[in-house]
Structure 1
């Protein structure tokens, strides 16, 4: 049986770090990124380490159902889906509220819908979220929660905006809502997948040392304050987050399902009572 893994958003940061961890866990690793050139560069790097895993780059827009269907078709051609690390995201400072919700949340719902039929005993999914909805105390009323559960309906963004209000049009506020949606999605997927023997979890990083985080820290005192309040007194590394994702995708985590793992150096513990 040929096992197949997928890592999305591999062109930078945590997605690339996940690819480096997954390459030793499956027989074939598909590297998906909006930039096929970026995915190809990571594939070249991984292939140069001399491992036995075949690495294949693909240009995939995770917000495009047709692109994801092509990705699923490739998995079916190759073998059995074993592990999915969905790490594609868009930094809040690089997009408006609609794009943030589309890439950081709706794409996860699309990935779940398209790849769910390929799940079997031992398949595991990890969806990347953020500690931000925990810090922002996102706790929607039932009406808003019901809208969040319809992310694949055509008028989703308009209805979510009506439910939450104009505040969601602020990118800094859209991001915690998007990643809260991922938390909710991962729990729902765990219930859906459980009878097949497959699993789903989410991972919520805190402040991770990326160019985007450094730029935000230089620009915003609030970001600097969060970093200062992190009990470990530093930002995290992409490799540290990827290590947690790799554990959740491994057989060692075979009874871990439907949970969110916070990887934030203790930040939420320090601020949760604020």
Structure 2
């Protein structure tokens, strides 16, 4: 498929995990992809892995000056964006009573403020008829006692996607979110779990396993492409059946 030939796509948090896998997928379909990360070493390593159809910018999405500089770089290099995958995020996995103000501020800054202003500042570059995909989470659909802060920030990001779908409709820009389940990534590596912990999680998943970043990339590529031209304001849950079905 060449759904992204001559298209330029920005992937925030694109140096590992779901972001890096999505960058790979979009490049195989013809896109030029700009990835962001918080350190020069990670950005350079990602660009080297992705090849000549990728470029990278060091940018912390919680720093609005850095986001401004990111968009200026994109404008200088490419002139426009056709799609944006607002993927940069963080996890705060603590019991409710143990969350500090510092934890709260960091979680909200990365998972909501960063997404909010990344999309806002990308708008002048986004072509009419373009697309935005926001990385939310399965946790916005199902309560979990150690994910109170994380779930709330991801629910905010999803709701932002829904409201932006309405706000940007006059320009033909579609906005959707994805809700990944347990995905084997550097932020949540299955290898770091004990056999007992891993079994406790996978026993609740109809698919019986963690998802792969490449499976998320396929969904993002669909939502960002013209194949999803009539999909707008939706949340696509990619969780192996975690929230929608009970294992036999």
TM-score, with length taken from structure 1: 0.77
Residues 80/134 of structure 1: CA separation in 2 closer, same or farther (3 Å cut):
same
Over aligned residue pairs, what C-alpha RMSD do you find?
Answer: 2.5
Aligned partners of 1:15, 1:43: CA distance in 2, in Å?
12
SS class of match (2:208): coil
Does structure 2 retain, via aligned residues, the 8 Å contact 1:81–1:118? yes
Partner of 1:61: 60
Does structure 2 retain, via aligned residues, the 8 Å contact 1:126–1:203? yes
Cα shift readout 1:84-114 (whole Å, capped 9, x = no counterpart): 1121111325982321221112111111211
Partner of 1:86: 86
1:178 CA drift (Å): 0.6
1:76 CA drift (Å): 2.1
Partner of 1:214: 190
Could you list the runs of 5+ residues in structure 2 that have no partner in the other structure?
A: 95-101
**Aligned residue pairs, count:** 233
Partner of 1:235: 210
Cα shift readout 1:52-91 (whole Å, capped 9, x = no counterpart): x3x2111010111111111211222212211111211113
1:40 CA drift (Å): 1.1
Aligned partners of 2:45, 2:193: CA distance in 1, in Å?
28
1:188 and 2:163 aligned: yes
Aligned partners of 1:215, 1:188: CA distance in 2, in Å?
37
1:215 CA drift (Å): 6.7
Does structure 2 retain, via aligned residues, the 8 Å contact 1:11–1:35? no
Aligned partners of 1:93, 1:213: CA distance in 2, in Å?
14
Does structure 1 retain, via aligned residues, the 8 Å contact 2:93–2:150? no
SS class of match (1:225): helix
Residues 265/125 of structure 1: CA separation in 2 closer, same or farther (3 Å cut):
same
Deviates more, 1:60-69 or 1:205-214: 205-214
Aligned partners of 1:58, 1:41: CA distance in 2, in Å?
12
- Structure with greater helix percent: 1
1:126 and 2:133 aligned: yes
